[in-house]
Structure 1
Amino acid sequence: MPILLRFIILLLFVLPLSAVADTQPEDVPLQTKISQMLMVGFRGLSLNENPQFAADLRDGKIGGVILFDYDVARQSQRRNIESKSQLKALIAELQQASPRPLLIAIDQEGGQIARLKERHGFPPTRSAKALGKKDDPDFTRRETEKLAATLAEVGINLNLAPVVDLCSNPDNPVISGYQRCFSTDPQRVAKQAAAYIDAHHQKGILTSLKHFPGHGSSHQDSHNGFTDISALWNESELIPYRRLIESGHADSIMTAHVFNRYLDKEYPATLSPVVIKRLLRQKLGFEGVIISDDLQMRALADHYSFEDRIRLALQADIDILLFGNNLDYDPKLVQRAQTTINRLVAEGIISEDKIERSFQRVTRLKNKLN
């Protein structure tokens, strides 16, 4: 009997079956991999209110869900959040309906940007500006542990925070205007953000640094239209990202829909291979999950078709395509996105290797929850 064959047989008898099985790669269909790259919002306080979304979940077409307290398109307070008990039950429904564990995401930064509000029975939170002004990482950690405990209690496992944009422009309508930034000092921002993230990790919650490569210097809000930071952006805005990547605090990073002609003369950051692949992946060395900001925001939607937004984001190396489905609501958005990505892969525009890399990154991120 050949030596190699005898060695393999010996391994089969010596190793437990679980150890042998763990060495085998999971055979995952392409469609499942694509689904893990979609994070989508929906309407409803329970899944019974949204049969289409429930069916998409049961069919395994979604990898993540984003929750809101306000329906922008309807200008209504009725969206996903009514009370603590209702939200906890909804999230349990979402996870039970999905064949794979979901990322359940929310924007619970603290202060004015908090989807879990006091009127819903949730405790008050402090803004990044208030925490940064005190400049005490231990205080930030203690305060943020309260916020993270609230998320853990209801089943949210990904907070789309902290904001690590600098407070560069005091007149910024969407960052400084809502007290979302810690400081003008990038070192202080990194220190505060690290404490904020540590508090989330203590409670088993993942986080996302935002908005890369920096939204703090802008004069415009990318929710509302084209946002050009070319004359305002400074390389110091990268320092918090570099520090937090190096220290292992960056679970995921969310991009900004800002345009900077000195970084890329053609595309805003979310759609730019120069910004995402060259700057974030190669120069800063980030190998984790990159999440787009909402692909329905006007900064992109006014200038690129639905298919072009998906194509360019994937070509730039975005891993999770985020559709809040809130600024505009499309009950068939999941099917449209799936059809679009499948066609791009079938036509060779997006490679299966790209889908595989993103799937592996998302899988590693979800495994951190275990």
Structure 2
Amino acid sequence: MKVNQSVIKDLSLKEKIAQLFLIGFHGNECNSDSEISKLIKNIKPGGVILFDKDMVFNKPVHNIKSPEQLKNLTAQLQEASEIPLFIGIDQEGGLINRLKPEYGFPVTKSHQELGNIDDTTVTQQEGALISEVLKQHGININFAPCVDLALNAESSIIAKRERCFGATSSEVNKHAQAYVQGHQENGVLTACKHFPGHGSAAGDTHAGFVDVTDTWESDELEPYKYMIQKGLCPVIMTSHIFNGNFDDKYPATLSKKTIQDLLRDQLGFDGVVISDDMQMRAISDHYGMKESLKLGLEAGIDVFCYGNNLLKEQIDLADAISTIQELVENGEITEERIDHSVNRILWAKAGLNL
């Protein structure tokens, strides 16, 4: 099926809701007997996210084994899907790198390394190199660049992993722009993250609740303003951090004040908003599935990411879809709200010429 805006008219409510999910899976092939093939054909999720390592069961191979295997896998995934899939990956470069040289992929530079070189031509070339490899292997969205500011040098999940172009928005802005322009050369979508800013945090939302109320700085919003104004921000990924400057009750992913009021209304963002992994403990330890999905939809999330690579318990996608369907049928969420997200998703997919 070719993706265009008329597609939404042909989808049932359940099929529309399924487009709101991007899921991870175990295995490195998608043949007719595989669980992921059956899930794609029967439940029709909007996309998948790929990992190289199995973080739950510590198996050496998750989805990525070699260039040839990956090319075959992504082709099989798309072939199984009636509506073209987002096939996403975290391939920032450097340490955040699912396509490792040991599997046969090129060496990449981290954001920090690119910031230290401080030549936007080099950064754009790196963005083009990364995205060329992604495109060659059937991956159409990169969950990068990380536009967090390196405000906390001791941050184990951000600065210590060399994920920042710099500590100021002026540094981050120019390199994020170049990095995204490199991806545009190859028609690969990018997602600026982690909104509204994770760079000052001491903790890691993978592990639990993280509060940046007292450390967050307004400069952390500037890269988003800049990239939105430049038209270089098709997708934004939210953080699960708690920031009382915007919402004294909910973490960013579940916060209407942060997503709808700040990101959409004040900053004027009309692209796709995707959650960080909903199985991170900052969410999963504090909110059940129904509550987190309802709050996320009310907040303005378009795509819920469930990587199935953090908890032993996998998301029951059919159950998640039924949960949202019940919310619509009970009048707690309108079908129009679902349509808004599906329209954004299909618009982004149409731009990829899938």
Equivalent residue, structure 1, for 2:296:
313
Q: Which of 283, 286, 291 is equivalent to 2:266?
A: 283
Q: Which of 63, 66, 77 is equivalent to 1:80?
A: 63
Query: Please, what TM-score do these two structures have when normalized by structure 1?
Result: 0.92
SS of equivalent to 2:278: coil
What does 1:306-345 correspond to in 2, within 5 Å?
306-330=289-313, 333-345=316-328
Whichever of the two has the greater Rg, that structure is 1
CA–CA separation in structure 1 for the residues paired with 2:114 and 2:72: 32
CA contact (8 A) 1:60 1:100 kept: no
CA–CA separation in structure 2 for the residues paired with 1:326 and 1:298: 12
Larger mean CA deviation between 194-203 and 326-335 belongs to 326-335
CA contact (8 A) 1:273 1:315 kept: yes
Equivalent residue, structure 2, for 1:27:
10
Shift of 1:340: 1.2
Larger mean CA deviation between 26-35 and 288-297 belongs to 26-35
Distance 1:48 1:229, change over 3 A: same
SS of equivalent to 1:82: coil
CA–CA separation in structure 1 for the residues paired with 2:66 and 2:33: 19
User: What is the identity, as a one-letter code, of the residue corresponding to 1:334?
Assistant: L
CA contact (8 A) 1:59 1:98 kept: no
Larger mean CA deviation between 329-338 and 288-297 belongs to 329-338
Q: Which of 78, 85, 90 is equivalent to 1:95?
A: 78
SS of equivalent to 2:236: strand
Shift of 1:330: 4.3
Q: Which of 35, 39, 42 is equivalent to 1:52?
A: 35
For structure 1, the 5+ residue unaligned runs are: 1-21
User: What is the identity, as a one-letter code, of the residue corresponding to 1:27?
Assistant: D
SS of equivalent to 1:59: helix
CA–CA separation in structure 2 for the residues paired with 1:127 and 1:159: 14
Q: Deviations over 1:2-52 (max 9, x none)?
A: xxxxxxxxxxxxxxxxxxxx9898332212211111100000011249733
CA–CA separation in structure 1 for the residues paired with 2:164 and 2:32: 36
Equivalent residue, structure 2, for 1:128:
111
Equivalent residue, structure 2, for 1:352:
335
CA contact (8 A) 1:60 1:99 kept: no
Equivalent residue, structure 2, for 1:4:
none
SS of equivalent to 2:287: coil
SS of equivalent to 2:273: strand
CA–CA separation in structure 1 for the residues paired with 2:44 and 2:78: 13
CA–CA separation in structure 2 for the residues paired with 1:321 and 1:24: 21
Equivalent residue, structure 2, for 1:140:
123
Shift of 1:134: 1.5
Distance 1:25 1:113, change over 3 A: closer
CA contact (8 A) 2:14 2:322 kept: no
Q: Deviations over 1:83-109 (max 9, x none)?
A: 000010000000000001000000000
Larger mean CA deviation between 72-81 and 101-110 belongs to 72-81
Equivalent residue, structure 2, for 1:12:
none
Shift of 1:143: 2.0
Shift of 1:182: 0.4
2:141 is the alignment partner of 1:154: no
Equivalent residue, structure 2, for 1:368:
351
User: What is the identity, as a one-letter code, of the residue corresponding to 2:283?
Assistant: L
User: What is the identity, as a one-letter code, of the residue corresponding to 2:87?
Assistant: I
User: What is the identity, as a one-letter code, of the residue corresponding to 2:98?
Assistant: R
Equivalent residue, structure 2, for 1:206:
189
Q: Which of 258, 264, 271 is equivalent to 2:247?
A: 264
Query: Please, what TM-score do these two structures have when normalized by structure 2?
Result: 0.96
Q: How many residues align?
A: 350
Q: Deviations over 1:257-308 (max 9, x none)?
A: 0001121110000000000000000010001100000000001111111111
CA–CA separation in structure 1 for the residues paired with 2:8 and 2:311: 40
Equivalent residue, structure 1, for 2:286:
303
Report 1 or 2 for greater relative contact order, CA contacts < 8 Å, sequence distance ≥ 6.
2
Larger mean CA deviation between 330-339 and 64-73 belongs to 330-339
User: What is the identity, as a one-letter code, of the residue corresponding to 2:41?
Assistant: R
User: What is the identity, as a one-letter code, of the residue corresponding to 1:77?
Assistant: P
CA–CA separation in structure 2 for the residues paired with 1:332 and 1:212: 24
Shift of 1:144: 2.0
SS of equivalent to 1:361: helix
CA–CA separation in structure 1 for the residues paired with 2:81 and 2:254: 29
CA contact (8 A) 2:151 2:199 kept: yes
CA–CA separation in structure 2 for the residues paired with 1:333 and 1:194: 38
Larger mean CA deviation between 83-92 and 322-331 belongs to 322-331
For structure 2, the 5+ residue unaligned runs are: none
Equivalent residue, structure 2, for 1:5:
none
Equivalent residue, structure 1, for 2:203:
220
User: What is the identity, as a one-letter code, of the residue corresponding to 1:215?
Assistant: H
CA–CA separation in structure 1 for the residues paired with 2:100 and 2:167: 27
